[in-house]
Amino acid sequence: MKQFVTALDKKLAAFKYLQDFFSKLSEAKVKAIVFIGPQIKKILECKEFPKKLTRKEKAVWNSFVLVVRGFLGNHKAENDVELFKTLVKNYGTMGCRMSLKVNILDAHLDKFKENMGILRGARQALPPGYNGRVCHYQGQYNKNMMGNYIWGVLCEMCQIMSKGVVAVLGPSASPASNSIISNICGEKEVPYVKVAPEDILKVQFPRFTTLDLRPTNTDISLAVAGLLTFLNSTTSCLICAEANCLLNLEVLLRQFLISKETLSVRMLDDSQDPTPLLKEIRDDKTATIIVDANATMSHSILERASELGMLSVYYTYIFTSLVRVFDLLLFPAELMVCSSAVAKMPFMEFSLLRLDDVADQRVNIIGFSVFNRTHPFFQDFLLSLNRSWQENCDHAPFAGTPLSSALLFDAVHTVVAAVQELNRSQNVGATQLSCKSSKIWEHGTSLMNYLRMVELEGLTGHIEFNSRGQRSNYALRIMQNSRDGLRQHVSNRSAGYEDCLTCRDSGALPQAVSDFAI
């Protein structure tokens, strides 16, 4: 009922009818959808309310009524499963917020008793532990279908565990599923190697079974701070495409609290038009512009900047997004195929951004990369990636970013190296595990210890982990546009942070030497 009323247009007749129907309820309670059982029963028996609904709303309402009477009542209908599936489908069509709870109920229909009237709440029919997940993920990230996705992750993880696994790798794109996968792997003591972006909400005590291959937001923040120091930038501006940019770059922002340098922060509004912000920056005579945005918005910002005459030698643009702007620019131009398919992707994590269509070599555009182009498998990796893309791009959008693909490649080799070492002392075999039991994988803790001792060279550079399971001692390469395309400079990272950047080439960014602690 709450999901349905929340999705109603508050200006149309149906919602206004509810306000009049429940005249004793305050307007605030009606808007907050604060209904109890007797009130819901009363509206179910009302014959006038359905007449106020639109065609789409009426389909949802009818499916809700059928579920209440044919599933949640004292007697189940013979087609009770079909009724519930139809309800979920109609709710999704209307754009209702599908909470995790609804999807858990959908997947556990067999847990409900024949006479639902004896249950005080639907949660009594659920397995232990699911209520906490409902509370934690309710309404996060995607307003409508986050619950569908999260529940899909839960089901898929349990299916994976039942087949027997040595480690779980990925996912490549969604930070939202990280904590679910981490918790399940932690309970079963199965190693989990993350390649997705960091969670916005940090876990205070991360699972021992989790390793993170992707550079952290702290690393990027320290790198940007180092560049600002090298450039002697006393005044700079940060353009944020999304609010979570403030959390992602928290370390960078904190440095300005104790610094005489100034950093202004400007957030794109709902129109996502960067023109007003760029005009403000131009009027303020701010020369150093830090951009935290996806590939599409990054390109849009450069286009608008070009129109405003802000792509000149006076300006420096620093892109914080490791993957979205610069990594694919390392790829040869002849590998840039299927661009029409990519252009249709609304939320690209990578970029086919060609700087020469919006800027020349005079403007200073800087970004970061972790690709190791000297790796013996790097060219084969490019060719394989390109071949796969050519075969599939006409039928489906590209499944992941080049960086994520490289991280998955490195994750596989990392796990293989650790298993080979562990096999010298004991026979390692995958065990089928069930989410419904407390059984754990007997080799999990040993394998995690070996994983934390792995040192190898991958497509994304040196691979090594610290005691917290985070990547350390790898090269964060600085990319700068030039007459011949992007130039690469290296900034080595190890345990400690000293003088950020030391110039080795007059007039250019430094060759080497900052150490960033992780």
Quick one: tokens of 8?
């109603």
pTM > 0.85: yes or no: no
Run of H or E residues at 481: strand 475-482
Q: What is the pLDDT along the chain (518 residues), one digit of tens a residue?
A: 777 887 788 788 888 888 788 776 666 555 555 566 677 888 888 888 888 888 888 888 888 888 888 777 666 777 777 887 888 788 877 777 665 556 556 555 655 655 555 554 444 444 444 444 444 444 344 444 455 667 777 888 888 899 899 999 977 656 567 778 888 898 899 999 988 777 665 555 566 778 988 888 888 899 899 889 888 888 999 999 888 888 889 899 988 887 788 999 999 987 888 999 999 999 999 999 999 987 778 888 988 998 999 988 899 999 987 643 344 343 333 333 343 333 333 333 333 345 555 555 577 888 888 888 889 998 888 788 777 766 655 554 444 447 888 899 999 999 999 999 999 998 888 899 998 888 999 999 999 999 999 999 999 899 999 888 889 898 888 878 766 555 665 444 443 333 333 223 333 333 333 333 22
Quick one: tokens of 321?
């997004």
Residue type, 467: S
Q: What is the rounded CA–CA span in Å between residue 441 and residue 19? A: 55
Neighbours of 475 (CB within 10 A): 17
Listing DSSP states for 449-489 in one string gives: HHHTT--EEETTEEE-B-TTSBB-S-EEEEEEEETTEEEEE
Q: What is the rounded CA–CA span in Å between residue 188 and residue 458? A: 28
Q: What is the rounded CA–CA span in Å between residue 390 and residue 380? A: 15
Listing DSSP states for 99-149 in one string gives: -HHHHHHHHTGGGS-S-GGG-S-GGGGSPTTHHHHHHHHTT-SSTTTHHHH
Closest to 290 measured CA to CA, from 346, 231, 330, 343: 231
Sequence ranges of the chain with CATH classification 3.40.50.2300:
219-376+384-397+472-492
Q: What is the rounded CA–CA span in Å between residue 401 and residue 349? A: 6
> How high is the pLDDT of residue 446?
93
Quick one: tokens of 393?
């791009």
What is the phi/psi pair of residue 115, to 5°?
Answer: -105, 90
Q: Give the residue carrying structure tokens 């912000």.
A: 277
Q: Which whole-number Å values give the CA distances from 22 to 25, 36, 92, 280, 405, in the listed order?
A: 6, 12, 27, 50, 55
Quick one: tokens of 168?
């779980």
Instruction: Say if residue 108 is exposed, middle or buried (CB neighbours under 10 Å; 0-12, 13-18, 19+).
Output: middle
What is the phi/psi pair of residue 366, to 5°?
Answer: -125, 140
Instruction: Note the helical H segments in 172-214.
Output: 178-188
> How high is the pLDDT of residue 479?
79
What is the phi/psi pair of residue 240, to 5°?
Answer: -110, 125
Residue 80 C-beta-side C-alpha neighbours within 13 Å: 23
For residue 428, what are the contacts with CB-CB under 8 A and spacing of at least 6? 166, 419, 422, 443, 447
Q: What is the rounded CA–CA span in Å between residue 351 and residue 499? A: 32
Architecture of domain 219-376+384-397+472-492: 3-Layer(aba) Sandwich (3.40)
